[in-house]
């Protein structure tokens, strides 16, 4: 397939590092030097659906197609206000589409999972136009008293429209069930037959373990794709890495011996927006005219699971 349009949407509320230092024992200096994050957007009065719909509409406008032309909608999302129906199904009606739709929980790798699924459906001859939307609100999963977690994340949505083409050159997904490293558990409705204790826990993260996993996984995924396609890191125009920590991104640039300028970032403004991180970055670069016909883009993400994924695509 080929990406023919991108879009994104952010909550209106800006939360700066200084605002966080009023909530927890932290400082702008600590957050900036350890993560590269200066501020993030956080959902206040918006619903997750509002952001998803706006990102989807922006991507459809950019692609120059109407929602009725879509054959399939994939929404990557970890949590939203509705347990059921799927966010993709609510979004389908809101944008005026009529095609089948499905949600996936790929944590921060949701966009790469979405691209891979779209490509697989396309290759099976089932679809020609697919909308992938990533909409996430980690701000409602974490504790705002936990300084090691609340400074890292932000909310947002990003989207891409895919159509017929041969621009996705290769994708790779990995999963290893290490769920104690990064997880959240929430209480379900009471049942007179439930005998288990309460399981309401905000996001738990073993930061250093996740950091090491992220660096290793991103390097392994990107190396495997370059090898598979007969390319080298020098052939890549831009590396779009999941915006989790500027130090992870700089590590990867260093390991591949590439100029940091080839690793665009927007983590400064948005923090880690989970699966929305890559399509938001892609959309910004697209709208700023920084993506050129024929550019080779290397996308890489990692997250709770632990899972990772990468994609090489030609713009
Ligand atoms: N402000 C001030 N101090 C903080 C802090 C904060 N927001 N958060 C943690 N600290 C403290 C710790 O309590 C610790 O103090 P101690 O030495 O007295 O115990 C100290 O800073 C160092 O903590 P440490 O965990 O070693 O820091 P770090 O350099 O590993 O950075 C992360 C922590 C979370 C920024 C880093 O591990 C990370 O980015 N991990 C990956 C996270 C990630 O990518 N998650 C999402 C994947 S999708």
Per-residue pLDDT tens for 22-81?
A: 999 999 999 999 999 999 999 999 999 999 999 999 999 999 999 999 999 999 999 999
User: CA 181, 183, 187, 188: dihedral to nearest 10 degrees?
Assistant: -120
The answer to whether 183 touches 304, Cβ cutoff 8 Å, is: yes
Q: How far is the CA of 233 from the centre of ligand 1 (A)?
A: 30
Average pLDDT over every residue of 168-175: 98
User: Over 90: is that where the pLDDT of 101 sits?
Assistant: yes
Residue with tokens 């949701």: 110
Per-residue pLDDT tens for 216-273?
A: 999 999 999 999 999 999 999 999 999 999 999 999 999 999 999 999 999 999 999 9
Per-residue pLDDT tens for 266-296?
A: 999 999 999 999 999 999 999 999 999 999 9
CA 284 to CA 270: how far, in whole Å? 12
CA 57 to CA 249: how far, in whole Å? 30
For ligand 1, residues with CB inside 6 Å are 26, 30-31, 34-35, 108, 147-148, 151, 205, 207-208, 210-211, 214, 244-245, 272, 302-303
Nearest to 267 by CA among 24, 34, 19: 34
pLDDT at 199: 87
State the angle between helix axes of 207-229 and 246-255 in degrees (0 to 180), rounded to the nearest 10: 40
Average pLDDT over every residue of 174-199: 94
Q: Given pLDDT bands bounded at 50, 70 and 90, which one contains residue 166? A: very high
End-to-end CA distance of the chain: 11
Q: What is the mean pLDDT of the chain?
A: 97
Residue 84: how many other CB atoms lie within 10 Å: 7
Residue with tokens 């660096």: 215
Helix (H, G, I), strand (E, B) or coil at 45: coil
Tell me how far the alpha carbon of residue 265 is from its chain's centroid.
Answer: 13
Per-residue pLDDT tens for 104-120?
A: 999 999 999 999 999 99
Phi, psi at 113, each rounded to 5°: -60, -45
CA 67 to CA 285: how far, in whole Å? 24
Q: How far is the CA of 45 from the centre of ligand 1 (A)?
A: 30
| Ligand 1 atom with the shortest distance to the CA of 244 | 44
pLDDT at 198: 84
Edge-first strand listing for the sheet containing 307-314: 168-175, 307-314, 296-303, 238-241
User: Over 90: is that where the pLDDT of 90 sits?
Assistant: yes
Average pLDDT over every residue of 97-106: 98
- Segments in 230-298 forming alpha helices (H): 246-255, 267-270, 277-287
Ligand 1 mutation pick, 245, 246, 276, max ligand atoms within 8 A of CB: 245
Ligand 1 mutation pick, 151, 183, 207, max ligand atoms within 8 A of CB: 207
Task: Count the alpha carbons within 13 Å of 272 in the hemisphere toward its beta carbon.
Answer: 26
Q: Report the predicted TM-score, pTM, of the whole model to 2 decimal places.
A: 0.97
Strand partners, 136: 156
């Amino acid at each position: 397939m080929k990406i023919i349009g991108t879009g994104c949407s952010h909550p209106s509320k800006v939360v700066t590092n200084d605002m966080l230092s009023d909530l927890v024992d932290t400082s702008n200096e600590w957050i900036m030097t350890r993560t590269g994050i200066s501020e993030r957007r956080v959902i206040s009065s918006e619903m997750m659906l509002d952001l998803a719909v706006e990102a989807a509409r922006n991507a459809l406008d950019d692609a120059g197609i109407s929602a009725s032309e879509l054959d399939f909608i994939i929404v990557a999302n970890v949590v939203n206000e509705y347990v059921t129906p799927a966010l993709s199904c609510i979004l389908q009606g809101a944008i005026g589409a009529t095609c089948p739709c499905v949600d996936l929980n790929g944590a921060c790798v949701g966009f790469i999972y979405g691209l891979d699924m779209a490509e697989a459906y396309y290759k099976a001859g089932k679809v020609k136009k697919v909308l992938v939307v990533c909409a996430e609100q980690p701000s409602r999963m974490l504790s705002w008293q936990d300084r090691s977690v609340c400074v890292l994340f932000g909310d947002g949505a990003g989207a891409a429209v895919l159509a017929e083409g041969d621009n996705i050159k290769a994708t790779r997904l990995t999963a290893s069930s290490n769920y104690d490293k990064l997880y959240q558990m929430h209480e379900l409705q009471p049942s007179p037959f439930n005998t288990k204790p309460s399981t309401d826990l905000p996001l738990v993260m073993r930061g250093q373990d996740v950091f090491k996993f992220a660096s290793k996984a991103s390097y392994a995924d990107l190396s495997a794709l370059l090898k598979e396609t007969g390319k080298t890191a020098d052939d890549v125009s831009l590396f779009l890495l999941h915006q989790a920590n500027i130090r992870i991104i700089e590590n990867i640039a260093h390991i591949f011996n590439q100029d940091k300028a080839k690793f665009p970032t927007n983590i400064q403004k948005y923090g880690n927006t989970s699966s929305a991180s890559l399509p938001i970055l892609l959309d910004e670069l697209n709208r700023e005219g920084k993506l050129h016909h024929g550019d080779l883009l290397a996308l890489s993400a990692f997250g709770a699971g632990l899972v990772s994924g990468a994609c090489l695509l030609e713009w």
